[in-house]
Structure 1
Amino acid sequence: MELRQLEHFVAVAEEANFTRAAARLHVVQSAVSATIKNLERELGTPLLERTTKRVLLTDAGAALLPRAHAALNAAQEAADAVAEVRGGLRGTLRVGTMATVGLIDLPALLGEFHRRHPGVLLQTSAAASGSQGLIDALLERRLDLAFVSLPGPHPMGITLTELVTSVLDLVVPADHPLANRGSVPITELAGLDFVDFPASYGIRNVADQAFAAASVTRRVALEITDLPTGVAYVRNGLGVALLPRPALADAADVATLTIDDTDLNWPFSLAAPSERTPGRAARALIAITHEFLIWRG
């Protein structure tokens, strides 16, 4: 049994498709199919059930998958240990981020990591489905770490390290009836049209939980995926919004109010799978993240 065979098997199992697995591995599909057939021949049993729509694991395949992951992780750890002795980390680190970060300077953070560990290839991706999509990618082993916002209980299988938090403030057009108020209770927001993120985003979850706790009905009229668009929609009278305070420092032609009678803290965390030990590169990024936050206050 070769590591290459296990790598191909894991890719097909996770993608549930030979074509996507081949693209992920940067090889032709016929090579993946041949490798899997050889592995099944060596083990004397089918590992995958091929259907017209998708590829499913057999009982033998389901038994092999966690052990294949463990073998590949152990091999990577061994290679990392040798590389570190030779003068630096090597390998690939897959990092997921929210489309909207805002609370930390992520490019500067990743740039510092790259300067310290130039031998590590950083692959970053943003989930269109928000933090929940990043958590799913971590659990499916498509990511090593992810910067997420997950208010409430921690999801199973995930370790969260809270990095920073921000209060969500109410943003209204400059000519809105509430514009001259410094603060407003959440009960006065019933009936207003809101601009907000999709339901899988952390900011949306914070707001939904706050309104539910106050038994106030809220209507989301427009959905966005980035902070500047939210401010622009509010500026043009399309609704009001709850947005993180640091993102509003330079917002023009809008008014910002606090909501003092409810919890509107938006957490920003670094997420890692709890069922497997992070590799050396992942641990290095975790350490640099904590250093970076201390440096930048």
Structure 2
Amino acid sequence: MELRHLQHFVAVAEDQHFTRAAERLMVSQSGLSASIRALERELQTPLFVRTTRRVTLTEAGRALLGEAERILAGVRAAHDAVAAVQGVLRGTLSLGAEQCIGGVDVAGLLAAFRRCHPDVEIRLRQAGSEAIADEVAAGRLDLAFAIRTRRDSDQLRSVPLSSEPMTVLCHPSHPLALAGAVTPEELGGEAFVDFHPDWGPRRITDEVFAAACVRRTVALEVNDVHSLLDLVGEGLGVAVVPRHFAHKRAALTALPVKGTGETVYETVAMLPPPQATSPAARALMELLERPDQQG
């Protein structure tokens, strides 16, 4: 099994189209098709269902995709490791981050990394914590800054960065604004502004209300922090968010949440196992540990 066959397979799986994948790889479409056929012959099974508009993975193709991504990530890590031994950090740093994450200044950290390692290409992907955890575990990201969403495993480990309580944000004219502090039970009848279910703050809020056996209605679902703050600012709902979000919109009223036990918003760095962690990811973590880089 040749590495180029796996590279071609992953590209077609990502693009779901032979022509687009060939253009991205800068190879001929006929050459790409021949590469995929050779891989299918070797594995003695079809990897794609081909139609006139797109291609989709067969069950065997889905099984191969995760392994192929891990193999290619390992090869990249091997190249980077050799370069690091030679005294030059090269290659690519693929980083995932949830938006407005606590405990780390992502932009400042990447700027410091660029100054120290100008030959490393930086790629940043923003998404919900659950999605980027999957990306790290699959080898598609070198590391990620996110909310702890699962226990450590043989494919994913977490390095704690910070923790903070959750806070209710509401319009200053809202009846709750004078309450001083609220419980999940007191919020049960409210309309909520919240993130998509795979975002860290949403998952934690869901856990808080489930533990209190309180149903809630998410009337407005967003995928960015500023939209959430705008909607709360217009009085369209309340939001339960990490405490540091309150500093982004001083005009809103922030209320502590009582009766949540030990439920907190915990930020972590998600990495693959130590032996699979790339030199670039290790260098970024070393920078993060410096006092001047603490978020």
TM range (shorter): 0.7 to 0.9
**Equivalent of 2:144, from 131, 146, 149?**
146
Asked if 1 retains the 8 angstrom alpha-carbon contact of 2:77 and 2:276, the reply is no
The change in CA–CA distance for 1:253 and 1:45 in structure 2 (over 3 A counts) is closer
- 2:290 aligned with 1:296, yes or no? no
| Count of aligned pairs between the two proteins | 292
Letter in 2 for 1:54: V
The change in CA–CA distance for 1:60 and 1:125 in structure 2 (over 3 A counts) is closer
Q: Within 5 A, what are the aligned runs for 1:247-266?
A: 247-263=245-261, 264-266=263-265
Asked if 1 retains the 8 angstrom alpha-carbon contact of 2:129 and 2:149, the reply is no
- The answer for the alignment partner of 1:174 in structure 2 is 172
User: What SS does the corresponding residue of 1:223 show, helix, strand or coil?
Assistant: strand
- The answer for the alignment partner of 1:96 in structure 2 is 96
Asked if 2 retains the 8 angstrom alpha-carbon contact of 1:97 and 1:134, the reply is yes
Letter in 2 for 1:266: Y
**Equivalent of 2:237, from 228, 239, 249?**
239
User: What SS does the corresponding residue of 1:249 show, helix, strand or coil?
Assistant: helix
Asked if 1 retains the 8 angstrom alpha-carbon contact of 2:94 and 2:122, the reply is yes
- The answer for the alignment partner of 1:192 in structure 2 is 190
- The answer for the alignment partner of 2:30 in structure 1 is 30
- The answer for the alignment partner of 2:18 in structure 1 is 18
Render the CA deviation track for 1:126-155: whole Å, top value 9, x for unaligned.
Answer: 22xx22222233344332222222345457
User: What SS does the corresponding residue of 1:22 show, helix, strand or coil?
Assistant: helix
The change in CA–CA distance for 1:15 and 1:161 in structure 2 (over 3 A counts) is farther
Moved more, 83-92 or 161-170: 83-92
User: What SS does the corresponding residue of 2:201 show, helix, strand or coil?
Assistant: helix
Letter in 2 for 1:252: A
TM-fit CA distance, 1:270: 1.6
Task: Give me the TM-score of the superposition, normalised by structure 1.
Answer: 0.82
**Separation in 2, partners of 1:68, 1:195:** 36
TM-fit CA distance, 1:38: 5.1
Letter in 2 for 1:116: C
TM-fit CA distance, 1:110: 1.0
- The answer for the alignment partner of 1:225 in structure 2 is 223
Task: Give me the TM-score of the superposition, normalised by structure 2.
Answer: 0.82
Render the CA deviation track for 1:33-84: whole Å, top value 9, x for unaligned.
Answer: 233345567x5956634432535468699679847854x4554344324422
Asked if 2 retains the 8 angstrom alpha-carbon contact of 1:151 and 1:266, the reply is no
**Separation in 2, partners of 1:230, 1:65:** 34
TM-fit CA distance, 1:213: 0.6
Asked if 2 retains the 8 angstrom alpha-carbon contact of 1:45 and 1:60, the reply is no
% identity of equivalent residues:
38
Moved more, 228-237 or 155-164: 155-164
The change in CA–CA distance for 1:19 and 1:126 in structure 2 (over 3 A counts) is farther
The change in CA–CA distance for 1:111 and 1:277 in structure 2 (over 3 A counts) is same
- The answer for the alignment partner of 2:80 in structure 1 is 80
**Separation in 1, partners of 2:233, 2:65:** 55
Render the CA deviation track for 1:129-185: whole Å, top value 9, x for unaligned.
Answer: x22222233344332222222345457832222211222111111112221222122
**Separation in 2, partners of 1:68, 1:167:** 37
Moved more, 272-281 or 213-222: 272-281
Asked if 2 retains the 8 angstrom alpha-carbon contact of 1:158 and 1:274, the reply is yes
Moved more, 275-284 or 101-110: 275-284
* Structure 1 gap segments, 5+ residues each: none
